Amino acid sequence: MSGRLPGDLERTPLPVVDEPVVQVAPTRPPLTSGEWVRRNLFSSGFNGVLTVASGALVLFFGFQLVRFVFVSADWSVFQANLRVYMVGRFPEDQLWRVWAVVFFLATLVGLSHGVLVPRHLTRRGLVLRAVLAVLTVGALVYLVRSPLVWLLMAVTVALFAVGVVAGRRLGRRLLRSLLVAWLLAFPVVVLLLSVGDVSADQWGGLMLNVIVAVAVIALSFPLGILLALGRRSSLPAVSWFCVGFIELIRGVPLLTLLIFGRFVLILLMPPGLTFAQLVRAIFMFTLFSSAYVAEIVRGGLQGVPEGQYEAAKALGLSTTRTMALVAMPQALRSTIPPMIGHFISVFKDTSLLAALSFSELLFTARRSSQAFEFVGHQAEALLPAAFLFWVIAFSMSRWSQRVEVRLGVGER
Amino acid sequence: MTTPAADETMDVPADGEAMIVAEDVEKWFGHFQALKGISTTVRRGEVVVIVGPSGSGKSTFIRTLNRLERHDRGRIVVDGIELIDDIKNIEQIRSEIGMVFQSFNLFPHLTVVDNITLAPRNARRWPKPKAEAKAAQLLERVGIPEQARKYPAQLSGGQQQRVAIARALAMEPKIMLFDEPTSALDPEMIKEVLDVMKELAGSGMTMVVITHEIGFANEVGDRVLFFDGGLLVEEAPPDVFFTEPTSERGKLFLSQIL
Amino acid sequence: MATDFTTARPPLWRNVRFLRILGQAVFVLLLAIVAREAFLNLEYGVREQNLDLSFDFLQQRAGFAIKEGIAYNPNESFYSAFRVGVVNTIRVALVGIVLATILGLVMGVARLSTNWLVRRIAQVYVEIVRNTPVLVQIIFWYVAVILALPVIGGALSLWSLVFVSNRGTAVAWFRLEDGAGAWGLFLLAALAAGALVLRWRTRVDERTGRPAPRVPWAVGAFLVVVAVGFWVSGTPVSADVPEVGRFGYEGGLQVSPEYTALLLGLVIYTGSFITEIVRGSIQAVPKGQKEAAEALGLSPRQQLRLVVLPQALRVAIPPLNSQYLNLLKNSSLALAIGYPEIVSVSNTIINQAARATQMLLLVMGTYLLMSLSISAVMNALNRAVTRKGQR
């Protein structure tokens, strides 16, 4: 085609094109900085005022913050307690176990990242990552004084990078083995950290938050699916029970459920039977989380058209098979974004264990500022903890957005 | 599209035994009575075409035949098995009836081949090679063997509906039900689906088809059932019904669609 | 040819309907067994502790003081103490909901601003606040900010109307004098007058087609009636401006540092989620709507008011309901900073009277009641906005 239309459309109709016509957007020369500033910041008088006012605010607070972080703050409370922040009262000579777990997870996460997340190097992404990397390295160099730890951290990063490269290279073939690895990861980690010269009582710090979060997520996922299916059941007794359970759990604060776990749960068990406080907390937390998972899955199942169920029924598939092979695969795909969002919330909510005096990250941070020599430095004690929570939650949320793209959520 | 192999043509016995018997079938949705006593018999190898205005109960009726809806009164007997609250009966009947829907209802997360082999492999426990061989054969029969590894979203409406027909045929049913199979298709794709259905009819399949395609009814239909307001108002061969319906309502309906 | 079929009754074990009933019966039976076992264990366990399962203990003398809230003294009953906790929860939840909504609205609009800087600031706010646990934020505000503020002598002030120090916050408020009742009636009349004027001007606008400013007129009518009432009732209200005394605030509306920190944490945290709801709901309105409105000749403000916002509102109400419930439930975290709301007070009661089971039932029941109330209001709102339309 020469790109021109035939002169007489009556005689020679346009040929039917099979491929979609590719539209190329008219290109514009990129805006110069001057134009960009004018368009985005000063497009009107009002906007100009806004820019100036908010710019001033940002500069003012930014300056205060920078001055605080680098000049007036005394970070010794964090430096001295770094180990406690990370692993609580875990015995020092057994830390190799923790590092083993870290290496294992770094490799696993790297592989998963390589397989699932598309390469997406924008200039802005690169800049952002470079800035974050510099900040992190700088902070670590300043805060951690032991060269051994630097080495171990470097190994961790290297393992992650290797994992990413390998994952990209091997691609989707790895998915099944990855799934198995992740499923096995949790019990393996728990075993490694509790068998031998250590016990679960000694878990603390950020490690405790992560372990609790993973346990709750792993346990509440199948339970939530069961609840969602039960809620949709055509048997009224089952569906009412599930609805009642879900609404009850969602109507009360997580903290009250945890307090219930601490004081009342044990009374409901046969006399003499007892569980560690941590197990009780994880149990109640799992019940809590499963109610929310159930609602997310229910939303996904509602999105599956009724016709799918009918076709499966007409073909002679049993209800269980229909659920497993037809409904759930479709439902789960659409539930991935809210599900990951919920998991991020679970991680954030592990901080509530602090209110029950479990020595996880927040509790540790708060307590370290109460030691005699660090009184008055509560901000320096809390900010690193806040930052650790934030970094993990933020990374998970960014990661989930990229995974969505790769899995084609919302496409089919 | 190929003609069926010899072994796929069913013998039509001279006396045409009854495949479906419906006696005074009634169905309510709450206070609304959708079926007010339908009685008819479909013989082996017959192609019965059901027509009628929307809301007349045609869809409800054929859905009661394979228990997608439960009839409240009356009797339904399929190939000698009565349709009652018995799991075994229901399962047996469902395995003898295949259904094709207006909105195709293909499984979007599975390829065409997986769509077709899902039920045989899981409900009939066929091994994978056997199921896939059958699928290949059926895709050949409906004329789209090259689409085997594609996903439904990548196919046109006409192709999707043909896959749906193949999927239903994979369970080797004795009866095929069609609920307005071409109503959701763009006009240029209706023919390819009707051609498959005509071939199916020619091979001796017992078919009950809800449709507005008069040409199809005239060509392969043995009988037309005219539904209106939950009742079977008129029953006649297609050439009779579409030219000289005897009932008033039949005349009214024809004047609206012609 | 009709074949003879006998309508046989399917054997029970294959009968679909029977099986459904049987399945449910088994399920209920299992539940009942588990429940009974649990209850018996509970009774046994409670007896071992020399306690009971009744709620009578609530009448006993509490014996502990509560830092803030409605009038209460330690000689009153546990039940009274609990009531103080409930009121404190409502105090922080209601104010929190209102303030968080306002913050969310402002920041949500900012997220959609044409001004790049404003957009980015709002985005940074959301990304930072959303991904930090709410308890961390509350403790941070309490420990690192409020308690670290200057003592009363050097309290920070905002135009001398709002004072903040480590003793809490004091806000200029109003004091009711004689005649306040009469003025209250005038306020109601003023509201009615404002509504009437609003409707009148709308009618004028529709009839004549000439733009008739409705809001300024309505507000003006409202203020006029208010002022008349003010004059007639003889200054029923006076300003109560707080002053910084030697040991604390004098006058004004005072709230504790715990309340301040809790409110700050809850409002800022929930505000970030409401920001995203506002942004999402406005973006959910199809672009074609705005374009159609523009093509019809409506001004940008009219487009927003008549076309975009009503549709956005419909989408926004269910998630807003969730966030309000979250704020209510997050108020329980006050336990960590000692603000005496329900959970905090109940924890003390459990420490004193040890009847954890009953207290927890009471606490959970109260939260359920409050959650239902909030949801009921939001559902009514939802019906009101969807009644006018479809969907």
Pair C349, C380 in one domain: yes
Q: Residue A25's pLDDT is what? A: 63
Residue A23: pLDDT above 70? no
A319: nearest CA in chain B?
B123
CB contacts < 8 A, B to C, total 41
Any domain includes C305: yes
CA B253 – CA C6 distance, rounded (Å): 38
A329 CB neighbours in chain B (<8 A) are 109
Q: Which residue of B has its CA nearest to A329?
A: B109
Q: Per CATH, the architecture of A203-412 is what?
A: Orthogonal Bundle (1.10)
Chain A positions touching C47 (Cβ under 8 A) are: none
Distance CA A10, CA C72 (A): 92
- Please state the separation of Cα C312 from the chain's center in Å: 20
Of B134, B157, A20, the closest CA to residue B148 belongs to B134
Chain B contact for A152, CB < 8 A? no
Structural domain count, chain C: 2
C129 and C186 fall within a common domain? no
B199-206 average pLDDT score: 93
Query: How is chain A split into domains, by residue range?
Result: 91-198, 203-412
CB contact under 8 A, B88 and C14: yes
Residues C290 and C368 in one domain: yes
Subunits with 3+ Cβ pairs within 8 Å of C are: A, B
State the pLDDT at residue A8.
44
Collapsing DSSP to helix, strand or coil, C6 comes out as coil
* Residue numbers of B between 20 and 59 with CB closer than 8 Å to C: 21, 41
Put simply, the answer to whether C10 touches B15 (Cβ < 8 Å) is no
Token pair for A270 = 């046969």
Smallest Cβ distance to A237: which of C28, C128, C139? C28
| Residues of B with Cβ-Cβ distance to A330 under 8 angstroms | 107-109
The pLDDT of residue C388:
59
Is residue A90 over pLDDT 50? Answer: yes
Rounded to whole angstroms, how far apart are CA atoms C151 and C319? 41
- Strands B206-210 and B47-51, sheet pairing: parallel
Query: What is the DSSP code (8-state) at residue B172?
Result: -
Minimal Cα–Cα distance from A321 to chain B, Å?
8
Provide the shortest C-alpha distance from residue B181 to chain A (in Å).
13
Residues 262-321 on C with a CB inside 8 Å of A are none
In the predicted structure, residue A410 carries a pLDDT above the cut 50: no
Q: Which residue has the higher pLDDT, A145 or A324?
A: A324
Nearest beta carbon to residue B75 from set C7, C14, C18: C7
Cα–Cα distance for residue pair B119/C290, rounded to 1 Å: 48
Percentages (nearest 5) of helix, strand, coil residues in chain C: 70, 5, 25
Q: Which long-range contacts (CB under 8 A, 24 or more apart) does A385-388 make?
A: A385/A85, A385/A361, A385/C136, A386/C132, A386/C136, A386/C137, A386/C140, A388/A85, A388/A206, A388/A361
Rounded average pLDDT over B71-76: 92
DSSP notation for A242-271: HHHHHHHHHHS-HHHHHHHHHHTHHHHSPT
pLDDT confidence band for B8 (50 / 70 / 90) = very low
Question: What tokens were used for A4?
Answer: 């021109």
Give me the interface pTM, i.e. the ipTM. 0.83
Is pLDDT of A202 > 90?
A: no
- Where is A88: in which H helix or E strand? none
Q: Does residue C204 share a domain with residue C160?
A: no
The values of phi and psi at residue C203, to 5°, are: -60, -45
Nearest by CB: B105 against A311, A325, A329:
A311
Flag whether pLDDT at A10 surpasses 50. Answer: no
Q: Which pLDDT band, with edges at 50, 70 and 90, does A140 fall under?
A: confident
Residue A344: which of A404, A397, A399, A294 has the closest Cα? A397
Residue B4, classed as helix, strand or coil, is coil
Within-domain flag for C111: yes
Considering only residues 299 to 358 of chain A, which have any Cβ-Cβ distance to chain B shorter than 8 Å?
305, 307-308, 310-318, 321, 325-326, 329-330, 333
Check residue A405 and give its pLDDT: 65
Is the pLDDT assigned to residue A412 strictly greater than 60?
no
Answer with the residue of higher pLDDT: A139 or A87: A87
Are residues A251 and C371, on separate chains, in Cβ contact within 8 Å?
yes
Q: Inter-chain contact A54–C350, Cβ cutoff 8 Å?
A: no
Q: Do A321 and B98 touch (CB under 8 A)?
A: no
Per-residue confidence band for A76, with pLDDT thresholds at 50, 70 and 90 = confident
List subunits contacting chain A, requiring 3 or more Cβ pairs under 8 Å: B, C
Same domain membership, residue C304 and residue C197? no
- Is the separation of the CB atoms in C201 and C213 below 8 Å? yes
> CB of B18 within 8 A of CB of B192?
no
- Return the CATH number at C159: 1.10.3720.10
pLDDT digits (tens, 9 = 90+) for A206-246: 989 988 998 999 899 999 999 999 998 888 889 999 999 99
Q: Which of residues 269-308 of A touch B (CB under 8 A)?
A: 305, 307-308
How close does chain A come to B170, measured CA to CA in Å? 9
> Is residue C164 domain-shared with residue C269, that is, in the same domain?
yes
Provide the b/e sequence for C51-83 (b: ≥16 CB within 10 Å): beeeeebbeeebeeebebbeebeeebebebbbb
Owning domain of residue C190: 182-231
Nearest CA in chain A to C127: A394
CB-nearest to A236 from C24, C37, C137 is C24
Residue pLDDT, tens place only, B141-199: 999 999 899 999 999 999 999 999 999 999 999 999 999 999 999 999 999 999 999 99
Within an 8 Å CB–CB cutoff, is residue B15 touching chain C? yes
Minimal Cβ distance to B85: which of C1, C3, C15: C15
Nearest by CB to A308, from B95, B107, B171: name it: B107
Q: Is residue C133 part of a domain?
A: yes
What residues of chain C score a pLDDT lower than 70?
1-10, 151-155, 159-160, 176, 178-180, 209-212, 233-237, 246-247, 387-391
Q: Does C198 fall in a domain? A: yes
In Å, how far is C140's CA from the nearest CA of chain A?
Answer: 7
* Size of chain A in residues: 412
Q: Is residue C72 part of a domain?
A: no
Which C-chain residues 164-193 have CB contacts (< 8 A) with chain A?
none
Q: Mean pLDDT, to the nearest integer, of B46-63? A: 92
Determine the Cα–Cα distance for residues C73 and C62; give it in Å rounded to an integer.
9
C24 within a domain of the structure (yes/no): no
- What is the pLDDT, as a whole number, of residue C210? 65
pLDDT tens by residue, B14-39:
446 888 999 999 999 999 999 999 99
The shortest CB-CB distance from A317 to any of B123, B164, B168 is to B123
Domain shared by C131 and C210, yes or no: no
* Cβ-nearest to B82 among C2, C7, C14: C7
Residue B22 phi, psi dihedral angles, 5° rounding = -115, 125
Mean pLDDT: which of A111-115, A394-398, C221-225 is highest?
A: A394-398
> Angle at Cα A319 formed by Cα A316 and Cα A324, nearest 5°?
105
In a domain, C53, yes or no: no
**Mean pLDDT, all residues of chain A:** 82
